[in-house]
Structure 1
Amino acid sequence: MSRTPGGRVVDLSLTLAPELPASWPGALPFRHFVEHWFEEVADDAGIRLCGNNAPYRSHGLILDEHTGTHFDAPAHFLAHEDSGLPMAHPLGAITGDRVDPAQFIGPAAVIDITGLVGTAAPGRSPLITASVVRSWEDEHGEIAPGEIVLFRSGWDAHYVVGDRGAEYIRRPLERADTDAWPAPDVSAMEHLGARGVRCVGTDGASMGPAHDGAPTHVAGLSRGMVFVECLAGLDQLPTRGAQFIFLPVKVAHSAGGPGRAVAILP
């Protein structure tokens, strides 16, 4: 945690590394490699890896848009309205580069849903329903338009190197033999949309449930929301009072993209 004139800065982003479970199963695996180095480098077999005796270092990145802490634009699940596809929607034209960055900045309303973890069958996500959100509002006050709702489950504790890291995404999704992250259902998205929420974040691996992610995505994105997924460290934030900021990479025609998420605590 660092400090600025406006308050303390809390990093809410996952670290990307090939040995961490940063990539969605079936997507392009994350790669990070040296392109230039201060001197020529060879491996143990004497094969030249990089060099050019450059006076600097730089690395190459290969990654899927939805790797690590990232956002979903409406175009992620909505096709262009002229496409003729079943998922066609007017907001399908809103690609990542067309999302107003102001939509990623606002006061945070942190909803603790840690009690839901492990309450569903293996491979299925416990559902965050509208009634769960309303119960939170009964205690903490109604969610206001422009607030950024962050669902805190503590799921980022699974984001580790080794066998346990498979519990972050791969085992719940592919083998369905471990718990899956809690996720909002359609009713929750409808409720948040009615409240005027434009951005929703989660420390889960996806905003959608592991067993059926599309309906939740469509329900929120079709209401003009954006999602910030794979957050970390939400337990450092108060229920209210923090300012949330997410700044993604701006890529033309994208369906989303990685970025850095932080909160400012006054």
Structure 2
Amino acid sequence: MSSETTNTVSHRTGGPLVGLLDALAGHDVEIVDLTNRLSHETPTLRLPEPFANLIDFSLETVSEYDEPGPFWKHQNIHTGEHIGTHIDAPIHWVTGRHSHDVADIPLPRLIGPAVVLDFTAEAAADPDFLLEVEHIQAWEEQHGPLPEGGWVLYRTGWDAFARDRERFLNADESGSHTPGASAACAQWLSRTGIAGFGVETVGIDAGKAGTLEPIFPMHYYLLGADKYGLTSLQNLAQLPPRGAMLIVAPLPIVGGTGSPARVLALVPRSS
């Protein structure tokens, strides 16, 4: 069999994935890592008293080429579910308590098209900026509809503070000041066909979401509608307004309400 025939058969049996693999091999598609690095220094959510907080991420050495393990090094991981770049499953919130845990998230929800809504200028002018329905509708007029079964990624420039816990949480005596979405916007998004909503901040809700009605409306409406949240995303500036494909890879924790996740975007390289 000639090499030409072999390549033809290979492409035929590979089906539609061949084009993607060829694009990756030919550097026509770029892989962008949207994940914040996970360590004991990673900024994490801090709830006010009397609410309890998750533990920060840490590693415990079990052996390190020594008597407990002479040829290897291995460690225990200590972490909360909602630490660093992570996914929120519906059962994280009371409105989604009878829906999916992390292990049961349908796989098509974890891979899909992504659009990026850029509101960095608004967030720079006002850290308490709230996304409204009219903002999204204006974006749709310019870029087209939100993707069915896809992800809406909310760019605010907040990833610039991801290595600085104090600036990332941006809290004072009145609470945290980070951008998010209004209650009306959260409810509107919950009625669309999107799979989920991703942000650069520590949570999918605004810092002042505890003062909204209902409190934490993104959690309340989105998770209650069997949609998903992604937090602490990085490098959204490297994605186009539309045209990227998102891959979300959480740990399949049985009963898990969330999980640290590796989040990658496949982006067509500009010619």
Distance 1:175 1:246 in 2: 35
Distance 1:166 1:73 in 2: 27
Aligned twin of 1:182: 179
Deviation for aligned residue 1:181: 2.4
Range moving further from structure 2, 204-213 or 127-136: 204-213
Query: Runs of 5+ in structure 1 lacking a partner?
Result: 40-50, 79-86
Aligned twin of 1:16: 38
Distance 1:223 1:65 in 2: 21
Deviation for aligned residue 1:109: 0.7
Of 80, 91, 98, the match for 2:104: 98
Deviation for aligned residue 1:195: 3.0
| 1:19-57 deviations in Å (ceiling 9; x for gaps) | 232x22232122123221112xxxxxxxxxxx5242111
Aligned twin of 1:34: 61
Aligned twin of 2:141: 138
Deviation for aligned residue 1:249: 0.3
Contact 1:101/1:247 (8 A) holds in 2: no
Contact 1:71/1:229 (8 A) holds in 2: yes
Deviation for aligned residue 1:14: 0.3
1:168 correspondence with 2:165: no
CA distance 1:93–1:225, shift in 2 (3 Å): closer
Contact 1:153/1:181 (8 A) holds in 2: no
Distance 2:125 2:267 in 1: 32
CA distance 1:34–1:11, shift in 2 (3 Å): same
- Partner SS state of residue 72, structure 2: coil
Give % identity. 25
Deviation for aligned residue 1:239: 0.8
Aligned twin of 1:82: none
Distance 1:225 1:205 in 2: 18
Contact 1:73/1:94 (8 A) holds in 2: yes
1:126 correspondence with 2:141: no
Contact 1:158/1:167 (8 A) holds in 2: yes
Residue type matched to 2:73 in 1?
R
Distance 1:125 1:255 in 2: 27
Deviation for aligned residue 1:128: 0.7
CA distance 1:30–1:144, shift in 2 (3 Å): closer
The structure that has the greater radius of gyration is 2
Superposition CA RMSD, Å? 2.1
Distance 1:58 1:176 in 2: 43
CA distance 1:53–1:198, shift in 2 (3 Å): closer
Residue type matched to 1:8 in 2?
E
Deviation for aligned residue 1:176: 4.2
Distance 1:255 1:147 in 2: 21
Distance 2:183 2:33 in 1: 29
Of 184, 187, 191, the match for 2:188: 191
Q: Give 1 or 2: higher helix fraction.
A: 2
Deviation for aligned residue 1:118: 4.1
Deviation for aligned residue 1:101: 2.4
Distance 1:16 1:246 in 2: 16
- Partner SS state of residue 56, structure 2: coil
TM score, norm. by length of structure 1? 0.80
Residue type matched to 2:156 in 1?
S
Distance 1:237 1:59 in 2: 35
| 1:114-159 deviations in Å (ceiling 9; x for gaps) | 1221444xxx731111111111112111213122110011111111
Q: How many residues align?
A: 233
- Partner SS state of residue 98, structure 2: helix
Contact 1:110/1:149 (8 A) holds in 2: yes
CA distance 1:53–1:256, shift in 2 (3 Å): closer
- Partner SS state of residue 247, structure 1: strand
Distance 2:250 2:168 in 1: 22
